[in-house]
Structure 1
Amino acid sequence: MSRMLRVCLIFHSTRSDNLGVGALTVSEIALLRDLAAKAGREIAITVLDWKDRRAPYVAGDDLRLIEVDGAFLKSPKGLWAEVKAADLVIDIGGGDSFADIYGASRLVKMFWMKFATHLAGTPLVVAPQTVGPFTKGWSMRLARMSLNRSALVAVRDERSRAALDDLGYRGAPVLASDLALRLPYEPPAPRDAGPVRVGINVSGLLMAGGYHGGNDFGMALNYPALIARTIDWFKGQGAEVHLVPHVIVPEGPMVIEDDLHACEALAAEHDVICAPAFASPSEAKSYIAGLDFFTGARMHACIAAFSSGVAVVPLAYSRKFAGLFGALGYDHTVDATKADADAGMAALEQGFADRDSLAAEAKAALARGIDRLAAYDAALLNLMKAL
Structure 2
Amino acid sequence: MSLYGTMRTGVSGMNAQANRLSTVGDNIANASTAGYKKASTQFSSLVLPSGQGSYNSGGVNTAVRYSISDQGTFSYTTSDTDLAISGRGFFIVNGSDGVNYLTRAGSFQQLSDGSLVNSAGFKLMGYPYSSTADPTIVINGFEGLSEINLKSGAMSTTPSSAGYITANLPANEVVGYTKPTSLIAYDSQGNSRKLDFTYEKTADNTWTVSASYTDPVSGTSQSALATTTLVFDAAGKLTTPAGGLVTTSALTIAGAELNAIEIDIAGMTQLGSPFSSTGDINGSGASAVIGYEISSDGIVALKYESGDLVPKFRISMADVQSPDKLKPLAGNVYTQSNDSGVIVMGYAGNGSYGTILSGALEDSNVDIAEELTSMIESQRNYTANSKVFQTGSELMEVLVNLKR
TM-score (normalised: structure 2): 0.17
| Rg larger in structure | 2
Higher RCO, 1 vs 2 (CA within 8 Å, ≥6 residues apart): 2
**Higher strand proportion, which one?**
2
**Higher helix proportion, which one?**
1
